Chain A
Amino acid sequence: MADLVLALIQTAALLALAPLLTGIIRKLKAWMQSRRGPPIYQPYLDLAKLMRKGSVVSEDSSWVTTITPYVCLISMVVAALLVPAFVTESLGFLGDLIVLVYLFAMTRFFTALAALDAGSTFGGMGSSREMLVSSLIEPAILLSFFTVALLTGTTSLVSVTSVIATSGASLIGPALLLAFAAFLIAVLAENARVPVDNPSTHLELTMIHEAMLLEYSGKDLALMEYSSMVKLTLFVTIAWSAFLPWGVATEITAPALALGVIVFLAKLLTLAVVIAVIESSMAKLRLFRLPNLLTGAFMLAFLAVMSYFVL
């Protein structure tokens, strides 16, 4: 019973922390741009503001537009149930790594459909670009998951986490590190960060992810934005839990849990800094250069699998 409660607390923490992570990245970026920046809790206020507002829905849109925000939110909540953050307990029996990948795919599929639904130009452009990016990055994600699955002999994320976390440093090898690197590129690509997309632009013609949300407003927009924030948090958490989970609590004792929580927060912060530094030190890539980067991620993941068999 205790493990179930812990798993639920963990999911609740992930869901609650999501806007904070976005706020922290924005704050860090602002500092690097010599700006003061909005407070790190600003995303909560933004979401609260949007939740109070009504939604304007295009007359030409169908039920797809209406249900997409809920589909996105629900898939993200379900995904959050599967991801171990500070303790190796989760409702992992619901699904494994593959399910996780397709929960993200479902979000993307519905978002892209909703963007096409109202028939606006920008939505169509956003969908087509998002599909370009995802078709290139999804194989990389799957391959990097296969690497850890091969290393640990299971596809359940909780088992992966606990096996790596308990087996010490012996598992650290080219396979794990290459897969981790591939997944880091996926974190940027899947979450509309520079150099793939620009999360802070107002230029519709250059947008990828944001272009798909242009038709949304008010509460629906809040749900879509919140789903994106949760998605980013989940990706960052998975990057650690699936590849370098050391520090996570593998047994339910107070010291282990305390350490797990502290290490988890430190890990979140570390990747927030990494993302902020990457976003501050380079320009966005030309759209047709993206395949170079994304197939690069695929190659890393491929090498990870190869090195498991060869080395």
Chain B
Amino acid sequence: MTESRMQDILRSMPEELSDKIKSRRVKGNEMWLEVELDAFAQVAAHIHNLWGASIVTFHGVDNRIASNDLKLVLVLALKGEEDFAVLLTSMDPEHPSFRSLTPDIPCADWYEREMHDLLGMVPVGHPDPRPLVLYDDWPIEEHPLLKDFPAEKKVQRLPSSYTYHRVEGEGVFEIPVGPVHAGVIEPGHFRFSVAGEPILNLEIRLGYAHKGTEKLFERLTYEKGVFLAERISGDNSFSHSLAFCQAVEGMTHSAPERAEHLRTAFAELERIHCLLGDVGGIALDVAFNVAAQHAYIMRERALDLNDYLAGSRLLRGINCLGGVRMDIPAEKLQRTLSELIRLKLDLKEFASLVFGTQSVLDRTEATGAVSLVTAKDLNLVGPVARASGLDRDVRRDHPYAAYRHMSFRVPVRYEGDVQARLLVKLDELNESISIVEQALGGLPSGAILDRVVDVEEGKTSMGLVESPRGELVHWTISGESNRPLRHKVRDASFHNWRAMETAVLGNIVPDFPLINKSFNLSYSGSDL
């Protein structure tokens, strides 16, 4: 970001707001504004609304050791630019409260509830101040991400109950589903209010997979953190470790060019196996098993290809700070490229099988529609956003790894229904295959690893990756002895989960699993 650009943004503010900005500076492509606590919400809303910005991450940092305050960090991506605005404010640890952003920026909702749970920061004026990630019987005054909360501490559990929204009326029933489901899937509670089969309201309750991941990061050195990042959300291993490495490399030095190309190829290989699972799942949920098995066979071959290239079906153990551990030698290229061509042909066959079957179209069309307005309000990311007409893709908007050198299309559709998501995912699969071909075809020579040894204390950085589910963020501030002072992870699912609640409205109960599958969100990544 240039100095003049920052001035533009500052000049657009009314004087009573710009007076509240304590300090300003430009750091790379980020504009850092330190705002007084009482004007934080207004400044954020101003930039968000006037400059069409979207929340990248919004979290608290317990900075009591260094400056005896709790910090609030809001990262906004400015529309149509590669730049970010980082808003900071600090609050008194004795009275940690701030004016809620949610009334102005709906997407801040879950972020603020999470902050309240984990750090005890109270969003005043929040429309829905119920706990989000902590267990029902967790004592409300214990906040596990505070520095004086030891990770080993066992808290006294206090039985309490969570209040759900109630829909009342004649013939209205509640259907509680989960958190334990019949299939081998993650835990999540879905509470439907229905009148017969049509859904009047859905309330999603997550947090059952909360395991203190962010706290755990603070205890691990950055080097070991890569392995934890790989395990945040099983099928997105590579995206998470990549975002983590990028965040750390942002504080030190970047990876060699060959490593960046290899990372691009592996990131797309991950997208391929994830999206194949997604489209297969959609076919399975409409009970079109033949097509589903076609997709699963392709997915299995993609996983085998990963194993052949990297010795790991889920691409674990490849990323490390400063590059990758695994090179792809030239003699492996031929089989890889021929596999990809085979995949492309099979995909075409799969698409004609699915879209040539009228009963599949009937199930997917107009089912679970998300409007563009909702997509914007909830700040949706990834294929779900792109199926609703929100044209955003980190690979293009904030290029990382070697994406700057890749030529690809970002498929966008406007219907926002299950079929649009299916089509977007199928189109993306083809783009991904092409990106792998480009990345491996033009592999630059040179080293693949420039090891990061030490991370200086007090630096901040952010890694943004387009995971198969969408924009994924690792934000970190370094502490002493190569460990983060605070490491914030924000999976794509954290934004997209909320869209499900609106997507199902007016649909019928037996279509819910299909809508859910077309989103295919991560519980573990969202609950952390």
Specify which of B181, B290, B511, B513 is in contact with A286 (CB 8 Å cutoff): B511
Tell me the chain B residues, 287-346 only, with Cβ under 8 Å from chain A: 287-290, 292-294, 297
User: With A32-B290, A205-B510, A284-B286 given, is the CB distance from A121 to B359 under 8 Å?
Assistant: no
Contact at B293–A34, with CB atoms within 8 Å?
yes
Contact at B293–A35, with CB atoms within 8 Å?
yes
CB of B348 closer than 8 Å to a CB of A: no
CB of A287 closer than 8 Å to a CB of B: yes
Contact at A205–B177, with CB atoms within 8 Å?
yes
Stretch with Cβ within 8 A of B (4 or more), from A71-79, A194-202, A302-310: A194-202
B202 to chain A, nearest CB (A): 11
Query: From A200, which residue of chain B is reached at the shortest CB distance?
Result: B289
Contact at A198–B297, with CB atoms within 8 Å?
no
Contact at B175–A201, with CB atoms within 8 Å?
no
B293 to chain A, nearest CB (A): 4
Tell me the chain B residues, 362-384 only, with Cβ under 8 Å from chain A: 362-363
CB of A219 closer than 8 Å to a CB of B: no
Tell me the chain A residues, 106-133 only, with Cβ under 8 Å from chain B: 121, 125, 128-129
Contact at B509–A205, with CB atoms within 8 Å?
yes
Tell me the chain B residues, 183-207 only, with Cβ under 8 Å from chain A: 183, 196-197
CB of A1 closer than 8 Å to a CB of B: no
Contact at A205–B197, with CB atoms within 8 Å?
no
CA distance A34 to B292 in the complex (A): 11
Tell me the chain A residues, 238-255 only, with Cβ under 8 Å from chain B: none
Which B residues lie within 8 Å of A194 (CB)? 287
CA distance A28 to B121 in the complex (A): 60
Contact at A286–B362, with CB atoms within 8 Å?
yes
CA distance A32 to B292 in the complex (A): 12
User: With A29-B289, A121-B176, A203-B513 given, is the CB distance from A285 to B362 under 8 Å?
Assistant: yes
CA distance A121 to B183 in the complex (A): 17
Query: From B297, which residue of chain A is reached at the shortest CB distance?
Result: A34
Against B, the Cβ 8 Å flags (1 = close, 0 = not) of A202-225 are: 111110000000000000000000
Interface residues of B, dominant DSSP: helix
User: With A202-B183, A281-B357 given, is the CB distance from A287 to B363 under 8 Å?
Assistant: no
Contact at B175–A125, with CB atoms within 8 Å?
yes
CB of A63 closer than 8 Å to a CB of B: no
Which B residues lie within 8 Å of A93 (CB)? none
CB of A289 closer than 8 Å to a CB of B: yes
CA distance A33 to B293 in the complex (A): 6
Query: From B353, which residue of chain A is reached at the shortest CB distance?
Result: A281
Specify which of A29, A203, A279 is in contact with B183 (CB 8 Å cutoff): A203
Which B residues lie within 8 Å of A288 (CB)? 197, 508
Against B, the Cβ 8 Å flags (1 = close, 0 = not) of A244-286 are: 0000000000000000000000000000000000011111111
For the complex, count residues of A whose C-beta is within 8 A of B. 30
Against A, the Cβ 8 Å flags (1 = close, 0 = not) of B501-523 are: 00000001111111000000000
A135 to chain B, nearest CB (A): 15
CA distance A133 to B176 in the complex (A): 24
User: With A201-B287, A203-B513, A205-B513 given, is the CB distance from A286 to B363 under 8 Å?
Assistant: yes
Which B residues lie within 8 Å of A279 (CB)? 287, 289
CB of B456 closer than 8 Å to a CB of A: no
CA distance A283 to B358 in the complex (A): 8
Contact at B513–A284, with CB atoms within 8 Å?
no
Which A residues lie within 8 Å of B181 (CB)? 204
In this complex, the member of A33, A34, A281, A283 whose beta carbon has the largest number of chain B beta carbons within 10 angstroms is A283
Tell me the chain A residues, 132-182 only, with Cβ under 8 Å from chain B: none
B300 to chain A, nearest CB (A): 11
In this complex, the member of A32, A205, A284, A287 whose beta carbon has the largest number of chain B beta carbons within 10 angstroms is A205
User: With A34-B293, A35-B293 given, is the CB distance from A125 to B509 under 8 Å?
Assistant: yes
CB of B1 closer than 8 Å to a CB of A: no
CA distance A72 to B118 in the complex (A): 54
Which B residues lie within 8 Å of A281 (CB)? 290, 357
CB of B65 closer than 8 Å to a CB of A: no
CB of B285 closer than 8 Å to a CB of A: yes
B85 to chain A, nearest CB (A): 42
CB of B360 closer than 8 Å to a CB of A: yes
Which A residues lie within 8 Å of B292 (CB)? 33
B358 to chain A, nearest CB (A): 8
CA distance A125 to B512 in the complex (A): 14
Query: From A195, which residue of chain B is reached at the shortest CB distance?
Result: B359
CB of B182 closer than 8 Å to a CB of A: yes
B177 to chain A, nearest CB (A): 7
Which B residues lie within 8 Å of A203 (CB)? 182-183, 285, 513
Which A residues lie within 8 Å of B514 (CB)? 206
Query: From A204, which residue of chain B is reached at the shortest CB distance?
Result: B182
B298 to chain A, nearest CB (A): 11
Contact at A284–B363, with CB atoms within 8 Å?
yes
User: With A32-B290, A203-B513 given, is the CB distance from A287 to B197 under 8 Å?
Assistant: yes
Which A residues lie within 8 Å of B513 (CB)? 203, 205-206
Contact at B287–A284, with CB atoms within 8 Å?
yes
CA distance A280 to B293 in the complex (A): 11
CA distance A288 to B509 in the complex (A): 11
User: With A33-B290, A121-B175, A198-B287 given, is the CB distance from A282 to B363 under 8 Å?
Assistant: no
Tell me the chain B residues, 244-303 only, with Cβ under 8 Å from chain A: 283, 285-290, 292-294, 297
User: With A280-B289, A282-B357, A288-B197 given, is the CB distance from A206 to B510 under 8 Å?
Assistant: yes
Query: From B175, which residue of chain A is reached at the shortest CB distance?
Result: A121
Contact at A287–B293, with CB atoms within 8 Å?
no
CA distance A198 to B288 in the complex (A): 10
CA distance A205 to B507 in the complex (A): 13
Which A residues lie within 8 Å of B358 (CB)? 282
CA distance A33 to B287 in the complex (A): 12
Query: From B361, which residue of chain A is reached at the shortest CB distance?
Result: A283
Known: A34-B297, A205-B175, A283-B357. 12 other contacts (CB 8 A): A33-B289, A33-B292, A33-B293, A34-B294, A121-B176, A125-B175, A125-B509, A129-B510, A202-B183, A205-B509, A205-B512, A283-B286
16 intermolecular pairs with C-beta atoms under 8 Å apart: A32-B290, A34-B293, A35-B293, A195-B359, A200-B289, A203-B513, A204-B177, A205-B512, A206-B510, A206-B511, A282-B358, A282-B360, A283-B359, A284-B288, A286-B363, A286-B510
A-B CB proximity, top 7 nearest: A284-B287, A283-B286, A33-B293, A198-B287, A283-B288, A283-B359, A203-B513
A-to-B contact residues, CB < 8 Å: 29, 32-35, 121, 125, 128-129, 194-195, 198, 200-206, 279-289
